[in-house]
Structure 1
Amino acid sequence: MDTERGPSRRRGSRGRHGTAAVAVVTAAMLALSLFGCTDSEPPGPGETTTPAPERSTSPFTGLPAAQGPVLAVKIDNVRPARPHTGLGAADIVYVEQVESGLSRILAVFSSRLPPQIGPVRSARESDLELLRQFGRPALAYSGSQSALKPLIEAAPVAALPQGEAPDAFVRSDDRPAPHNLYLLPERALAAARDVSDSSDIGMRFGAAPGGGRPLAEHTVRYPSARYTFTWSPERQRWLVAMDGAAARTTDGGRLTPATVVVQYTEVRPSRFSDRSGSVSPYTETVGSGTALVLRDGRGYDARWQRAAPDGDTVFTDAAGERLNFAPGQVWVLLAAR
């Protein structure tokens, strides 16, 4: 089961029955008259009280959630890596193009942490710019090529590669390497330092905007991958399919985001390449462009804008008004213009 971040309160112990209870009640009434009501035990000598986390609304999903640290995980997405684990608990799921036209996932967690997440794979240069809008998040990944390491070290992320946080990763024997590496998120965050809590990154949630058009299904294509989103009136969610097969998780069933954003942007060659010599694409996430927002069985033409690397990504409608997402998990597919 997912660990949902929520408040906890420590209750005071009750008195025993019998004659002694009269004295206890009398003393308690006197204490209350002097110091006021409380439902927590007073701190002992040398102890301090720690306030429970306040439960508010997640800026990533629009649902009730306690403020918590941001953990981003780079997840494998070729066929041998499926089904995924823990992906249904993510607040935001980003899809990026990688070498050979394939895709990879960068999942952002804050509201809930599943027991395991994966399979985990290596980071890319584009991840660093994309994550700057989250402040200083933790970034868990299997590793990276040596030429990219200086950029990761200079970026505002709490880097958690397998080599530096070995206790936070485990291997599974149910599939072959390299598609069998999984993250233990609680251990990962325990190993991270100075991680930012969730905060506003520009998303807005609320009632459906006017306009749009009925849209029962939409497919997003990459050179060697495709994603299809089919609206389910029964679930009031979008059912995800990857490369023609229903996308399920090992721990939560079908993947069903509430909002899907197709963000059209520039995807250009970077100066990095993989071991086979294939050039790594670089996906621009600072700038502006068009987008398609899917919610409630409708499609909305939109625009996106992010003025600076540490700025918010804002989605607006044709009139320039902020466009509300449906509360729940959000998928953002970064697609070439």
Structure 2
Amino acid sequence: MRRARVLASTVVAASLVLSACGGDDKKSDDEKGPGAQEIAGGSVLDATWPLTGLPVKGEQSAAQEHPVIVAKIDNTASSSPQQGLGSADLVVEELVEGGVTRLAVMFYSKIPGEVGPVRSMRASDIGIVKPTGATVVTSGAAGVTIGRINKAGIKFIQEGGPGFSRNSSRSAPYNLFANLKQTVKATEVDEAARPDDYLPWGEAADLPQGQPAKTLAASFGSHTTNWTYDGKKYVNENTFAAEGDEFPADTVLVLRVKVGDAGYTDPAGNPVPETKFEGRGQALLFHAGRLVRGTWTKKGVGDTVSLATKAGELTVPAGKTWIELVPVDAANGDVTVGQ
């Protein structure tokens, strides 16, 4: 179950406003404007989506009656065409066995219909998912992984749950899909609540100048994801997404991470890697055809990410972000930048 959570800076800002106005001077709802909303306890929270930082429009609320939904989606040629990426708020690409990758595709502001192909969880997902309080949609996982996921307090819905079906025109295991509009009905929350921001959101004007970077290649060993800036967004040149359903990346955030051994092998005998998404490492933020270099910090698996340069705090421009968790080991991970 999730509880409404408020950023410390927001609470401070709200307190200052109340102090300046005096205890008896109360503003009407109209005076508060569209940029703020009342949540539990009477605190004021900026009306932005937690996975994008974008403003909430119209009568919508950033406090939803469902948690963040994270669908584990295959990212090999066998997954083509993937479904649902175009509706996602944020995507995290992670290393799995054999040097290929899998996607943790996050939905919150919009819950689509069918997504997939849905695949299994990894221990790496704990550090990716836990900060959101999300429910994971998955085909399942190895017993040792399920034990760790349960211990971490992460909820998941697996094959056999509402919304799951097999597509007879595809080969197993790449034929499992989930209709999230049905699956989300199985999630439970005490009351509508807004998760914490997944990244430190800001504005493009706040970014340091950086360096020209129109292309980048994030290598995970056997698989490399190639991006090109087309003047508006970053285009995934080798995406497996269905045409017209590609993820519209405003920013690509590369975080160099340590990778260990999960302690077991897959059915083919490949050792299963485990991304250590905590601690600190190098960060490369690609936005509007430029690269800003910095560092990332994440105190524990359940904590959110902080970014910084030598000059101070670094924020991510509000929008759709694709995160590449690229191993620091040169044998299994590399990042190539082109002007």
What TM-score results when the alignment is normalised by the length of structure 1? 0.77
Per the alignment, residue 329 of structure 1 pairs with 320
Report the alpha carbon displacement of residue 116 of structure 1 after superposing the two structures with TM. 1.1
Check if 1:241 corresponds to 2:243: no
Check if 1:153 corresponds to 2:161: no
Return 5+ residue gaps in structure 1 as ranges. 1-53
- Find the residue that maps to 1:112 and give its secondary structure: coil
Return 5+ residue gaps in structure 2 as ranges. 1-44, 329-339
Moved over 6 A (4+): none
Per the alignment, residue 31 of structure 2 pairs with none
Distance, in Å, in 2 between the alignment partners of 1:333 and 1:177 is: 27
1:44-90 CA distances to partner (integer Å, 9 max, x unpaired)?
Answer: xxxxxxxxxx9921121121233232011110111010221011111
Check if 1:59 corresponds to 2:36: no
Per the alignment, residue 216 of structure 1 pairs with 214
Check if 1:275 corresponds to 2:275: no
CA gap of 1:239–1:279, structure 2 versus 1, over 3 A, is same
**Retained in 2: the 8 A contact 1:301–1:318?**
no
Distance, in Å, in 2 between the alignment partners of 1:202 and 1:260 is: 12
Which residue, 145, 170, 173 being the options, matches 2:168? 173
Distance, in Å, in 1 between the alignment partners of 2:223 and 2:173 is: 19
- Find the residue that maps to 2:204 and give its secondary structure: coil
Per the alignment, residue 88 of structure 1 pairs with 86
Per the alignment, residue 178 of structure 2 pairs with 183
Report the alpha carbon displacement of residue 171 of structure 1 after superposing the two structures with TM. 1.6
Report the residue type matching 1:182 in the other structure. F
Distance, in Å, in 2 between the alignment partners of 1:294 and 1:178 is: 34
Per the alignment, residue 106 of structure 1 pairs with 104
Per the alignment, residue 44 of structure 1 pairs with none
Report the alpha carbon displacement of residue 170 of structure 1 after superposing the two structures with TM. 1.5
- Find the residue that maps to 2:182 and give its secondary structure: helix
Distance, in Å, in 2 between the alignment partners of 1:123 and 1:149 is: 8
1:203-250 CA distances to partner (integer Å, 9 max, x unpaired)?
Answer: 2131231221111111111111011110011xx1000123xxx55425
Rg bigger for which structure?
1
**Retained in 2: the 8 A contact 1:172–1:180?**
yes
Report the alpha carbon displacement of residue 326 of structure 1 after superposing the two structures with TM. 2.8
Which residue, 68, 71, 86 being the options, matches 1:70? 68
Per the alignment, residue 97 of structure 1 pairs with 95
Same amino acid, percent of matched pairs: 28
CA gap of 1:271–1:190, structure 2 versus 1, over 3 A, is same
Which residue, 201, 205, 212 being the options, matches 2:202? 205
What TM-score results when the alignment is normalised by the length of structure 2? 0.76
Distance, in Å, in 2 between the alignment partners of 1:318 and 1:174 is: 53
**Retained in 1: the 8 A contact 2:76–2:101?**
yes
Per the alignment, residue 303 of structure 1 pairs with 295
Report the residue type matching 1:240 in the other structure. N
1:84-117 CA distances to partner (integer Å, 9 max, x unpaired)?
Answer: 1011111110001101111110111101111111
Work out the number of aligned pairs and report it.
274
Distance, in Å, in 2 between the alignment partners of 1:64 and 1:286 is: 29
Q: More displaced, 81-90 or 172-181?
A: 172-181
Distance, in Å, in 1 between the alignment partners of 2:46 and 2:94 is: 32
Report the alpha carbon displacement of residue 256 of structure 1 after superposing the two structures with TM. 2.6
Distance, in Å, in 2 between the alignment partners of 1:253 and 1:217 is: 21
Distance, in Å, in 2 between the alignment partners of 1:100 and 1:81 is: 16
